Amino acid sequence: MRRTTVHEIGRREFLARAAVATAGVGLLGARPAWGGKTPWKMRLSASSIDFTKLKIEQACERIAALGFEAIDIWSPHAGCPHLDDVQSRLGPQGLKELLAKHGLKLYAFSVYSGGYPKYAELLGKAGGGVAVNGSPGKCPPSELTARMKAFIESLEGQLETAEKYNSYIAIENHGGALLSSLDSFKAFVDNNKNPRLGLAVAPYHLPAASVAEAITIAGGQLLFFYAWQNGGGLKQLPGHGPTDFTPWLAVLAKIDYKWYVNPFMHGEPAPEEMSKALEKSRDYLKACYEKAVGSE
């Protein structure tokens, strides 16, 4: 029996959930009225780049020991060696065995360096997942719709590959990029009709007051959420900086977000300090979840 490593969604469910983007999110921070339905379940993942100084085996061991359910493996952005090492040394079967050893699910490959096509076969044969990448440079507002449409059309070949390998492509927002503003989120959602393509929301690159609306606009097209605030050092992580993540989790519950919440930072400290920082973030996010959603 094939092991499902990520939540698979069909076109009908994708379009239905995407419609949430126009529905609003209600009172932020309040517990949703579930009306007898099962409450939204927050699932946590972590990125291998948190442990750049360690081999992928050691990174997986630490992430699993901290209680994270899944992993996001990084290509050589900022010198992270993990994905290229997996590709050249372990291969898909070796990666599956490594993850099974530690009870981790494969969530994502972050492919800002190298791009999705380089790692598509590896991702697919390892079980499928989300490939996270960025968008081209920013454009004048008058050109936004046309440029976004052209960008999405340019991904057609990659999306055919994603279909073949049971994977998805998520585009992250970034300052100075085509996907950077709420208007650009809207343009993306309006022009994207492919269930294999979606968004990765990075709050670090948005005004804090815009994050809830960005999540809402993304709706069912949200494939990756960075629990990441704009701050220095460890203050980028949930529970370390000043941002209250409870309203953001409440909005994720409202849109019935199906993927993982991924605490994140750049410029990671030494492994022991990173482990302690992620432990604090994990507990903080769980506390925020209880306030936003409540226990089942």
Summarize the confidence of residues 13-32 as an average pLDDT: 42
Mean pLDDT of 7-15: 48
Tokens of 267: 């410029």
Which helix (DSSP H) or strand (DSSP E) does residue 47 occupy? strand 45-47
- The residues near 156 (Cβ < 8 Å, ≥ 6 apart) are none
pLDDT of residue 289: 98
Of 84, 89, 139, the residue nearest 109 (C-alpha):
84
Q: Quick one: residue 43, left, alpha or beta (phi over 0 = left, psi -120 to 50 = alpha)?
A: beta
Element spanning 74, H or E? strand 70-74
The predicted structure's pLDDT at residue 37: 66
Q: Which tokens belong to 204?
A: 């670090």
The residues facing 246 across adjacent strands are none
Percent share of the chain, pLDDT over 90 = 85
Burial bucket for residue 65 (CB in 10 Å: 0-12, 13-18, 19+)? exposed
pLDDT in tens, 194-231: 999 999 999 999 999 999 999 999 999 999 999 999 99
**Does the pLDDT value for residue 28 go beyond 70?**
no
3-state secondary structure 169-227: EEEECCCCECCCCHHHHHHHHHHCCCCCEEEEECHHHCCHHHHHHHHHHHHHHEEEEEE
**What confidence score (pLDDT) does residue 38 get?**
77
Mean pLDDT of 49-77: 98
Summarize the confidence of residues 53-74 as an average pLDDT.
98
The answer on pLDDT for 126 being more than 60 is: yes
- The pLDDT of residue 16 is 47
Mean pLDDT of the chain: 90
Sorted by sequence, the CB contacts under 8 Å of residue 215 that are 6+ apart come out as: 25, 201, 222, 225, 248, 251, 252, 255, 257
Q: Which residue is it, tokens 């809830």?
A: 212
